[in-house]
Structure 1
């Protein structure tokens, strides 16, 4: 049994929140039962052993025990993402507001790192839809980029900008997710540091920050577009009060979500606008604390001029070489940044050019590689992507032990068959590149994401 010393006044304040049950809440925090959940990548089917399904997310599953994800090659291949179950409710919101997927949409995940909700959104989108995953804090951008690389799709752009930088993009996004920085009380079970940092003053500070972020991003939401708002806080100041502020300050209407009584989710209404919100309490749900809500924007923020007719002139011979490594290359817009070739779904060419004019872009689609003469030096992103033409490259299947050696950048003990660039794969899923030479293998797995731990668990 775990003894949680809750911060002063925390339980007292929480007692007035909608649906709060002190007994079940405290028991859940004192229990040593560990809840582990993963979300499978629908683009990379695999034979991962799971237990029961997360009821509000068809790709989400609970595990009976927590394995060592670090030493599971399928994790590094992007076959699944380790994600807290409550946060998968965003999937349910997205499907509720967009059941038919008729017209292509543009989606922004404003506070995206480490990438759990970005990969969740991406799983629910079509290739003709665009996902922009933005992270405000520069040091958190690499982990966001790595996780989207593993997911493998080419309809994503990663940016590193403050919310106010999106203001010129008026009416640009059909759906904006703001998983706002918050006081973190919903993560007390998993993060005791969050307990030490919690205070009434910090709750108020977070409330003010949330208002600023939402006011900054509001112009970028399209008329009749949606704002999905979420926090990992229980405090009404960061949740229902924010919904009231949004409805009173802007022309927004609350959207009620269909939920099942079996799920244990508490439906709440904000005091003034009666806006619907959804609260997740440990003890009532198999997951951590979460608040989520969805609102529709009913006004037009004015139109910006997005037209950009700039066309990069690229050498045809180089394009022909690059295309051989790609499935259905005519579906892609190819571009060159310095010496790197990149590819993104053709439908997103104009959006990419528009975003490039206003934002600091860290990733555009998939980085394919660099040309050295008539040969491509393939990039790690290409290895993990769904666009790669596997008929054009060698592939070497590894055992689990060999895959761990590869992911550590150790020497790999295998018989060399063939020569040149080879995908290194585990259970049919690519992990990265190696170059096969007559008497050795050069391991090109990126140094910055290799496995550092020496403890092996099989």
Structure 2
């Protein structure tokens, strides 16, 4: 592997005698990993039923290695959101951030969703997750990955951190900053990154990281926790960045990260010498079965706040304006801009995980499936009152929708109707309606000709064992692939299923909806998700 000369010289100076082992690691085959969606299956159960050989990632409870000749994305479990393909080291930051049920959590640099999906799984439908990325194109993949995982309590935004800070001051209990970086730790995984590396690239990302951390600090409640991570070896972006942050914000404190024998401590001598930098974690490819990574866990000290829990925000909630409802979904492309396009082209940020789905241009009709924000409907109470008369659910509509909510855990009383669509949304601070967001909560479904049609998002958030009507197929059944291609099919002889809308499942994992009548299964799988 032909590494940049300036990078080699710096690493030799940093590592000394250890450099030879580091350099030799580039000649080894990289390991591949997947992370199990614990909202759908336990790691133990997945290990028992895994359709291909897997081996535990020892430092991540729901992480697994798989062989290089295996293609998990081709298995139906992938389409059911059972797992996310992710480089093993990249699983660590979200795993080591101690999210509790009920927390308000922010993933500030979330695309394509490797860490956001794990944070959502930890919340398990409680609390709130804001998953943000400044890149519009990358946010598309983020949205779909979260939908595949069956999340309900997530807001997906495409905003600069400074804009989020205006809406969410002193708001979040936990924040993950998986910062855009020079990507040195990914040279073995994606050799094309080598050609983009330069000392100027390191300087550029260090500047971006300082800006991101400044805004993250303003959004964290006293007693809240911030996890900072990169996939680079550069001290400018790692120890030196944390040293700068601690000096600028003396109420921030480094915490110990739950240990694993392969973790290496931070190196104070690569920064200003402060000993607490040893609490940071470095993952080295010549020491562990993973690519390069850096982690730092920090506490924002504050009185009347217990560290690491949703109660930490109680001292600051009084400063927030009255919370009101905000519409669940906004039309894709409605006001969303990639304001960093020029910078991204010059210094493209490297993605440390394997994208669960590739970002692709959606079909025109699917780009609009979530609908526009109805005129006058924002987060303000007066707007809600003005629209309430025409957007209330009738008794008949509630009854039509209720049967589809059985397996999702969504109470029918929490669904609000805007136009002809029903949404489960989250309460947000005043001003959130001005954000560029792709989703807040989920689209439950739509009324067409006085009939309710459930959404793909609702399907993924449902649990087949609790859903009223479901057709369960085995992974090897050829009809599973037919369904994923958008084809209709027939029930087998002797096979029975309820007439009408059914949840189509592979084993006990939902794939989407179909409508069954006279033995014919009419495909209702979302167009933009269909396999070619």
User: TM-score, normalising length from structure 2?
Assistant: 0.76
Shift of 1:66: 4.3
Runs (5+) with no aligned partner, structure 2: 303-314, 325-380
CA deviation map 1:18-47 (0-9, x unaligned): 69832222222112x241111111121242
Which residue of the partner structure matches residue 455 of structure 1?
none
Relative to structure 1, the CA distance from residue 224 to residue 399 in structure 2 (aligned partners, 3 Å threshold; closer, same or farther) is: closer
CA deviation map 1:410-430 (0-9, x unaligned): 454643855432222111211
Which residue of the partner structure matches residue 247 of structure 2?
248
Which residue of the partner structure matches residue 315 of structure 1?
393
Q: Would you say the 8 A contact 2:109–2:134 is kept in 1? A: yes
CA deviation map 1:311-344 (0-9, x unaligned): 5632242234323321344387322344321225
Q: Would you say the 8 A contact 1:56–1:91 is kept in 2? A: no
Shift of 1:287: 0.8
Which residue of the partner structure matches residue 219 of structure 2?
220
Q: Would you say the 8 A contact 2:253–2:299 is kept in 1? A: yes
Q: Would you say the 8 A contact 2:239–2:266 is kept in 1? A: no
Shift of 1:301: 9.1
Relative to structure 1, the CA distance from residue 369 to residue 387 in structure 2 (aligned partners, 3 Å threshold; closer, same or farther) is: farther
Which residue of the partner structure matches residue 111 of structure 1?
109
Which residue of the partner structure matches residue 320 of structure 2?
305
Q: Would you say the 8 A contact 1:326–1:389 is kept in 2? A: no
Separation in 2, partners of 1:387, 1:360 = 31
Runs (5+) with no aligned partner, structure 1: 453-458
Relative to structure 1, the CA distance from residue 376 to residue 164 in structure 2 (aligned partners, 3 Å threshold; closer, same or farther) is: same
Shift of 1:307: 0.8
Relative to structure 1, the CA distance from residue 406 to residue 219 in structure 2 (aligned partners, 3 Å threshold; closer, same or farther) is: same
Which residue of the partner structure matches residue 445 of structure 1?
525
Which residue of the partner structure matches residue 350 of structure 2?
none
Which residue of the partner structure matches residue 290 of structure 1?
293
- SS, match of residue 158 in structure 1: strand
- SS, match of residue 143 in structure 1: helix
| Structure 1 segment 41-120 matched on structure 2, within 5 A | 41-45=37-41, 46=46, 47-48=49-50, 49-95=52-98, 101=100, 104-120=102-118
Relative to structure 1, the CA distance from residue 216 to residue 149 in structure 2 (aligned partners, 3 Å threshold; closer, same or farther) is: same
Separation in 1, partners of 2:464, 2:422 = 13
- SS, match of residue 422 in structure 2: strand
CA RMSD of aligned residues (A): 2.7
Shift of 1:184: 0.8
CA deviation map 1:168-224 (0-9, x unaligned): 221001111111111111111111111000001110011111111222332111112
User: TM-score, normalising length from structure 1?
Assistant: 0.87
Q: Would you say the 8 A contact 1:166–1:358 is kept in 2? A: no
Which residue of the partner structure matches residue 23 of structure 2?
26
Separation in 2, partners of 1:365, 1:88 = 25
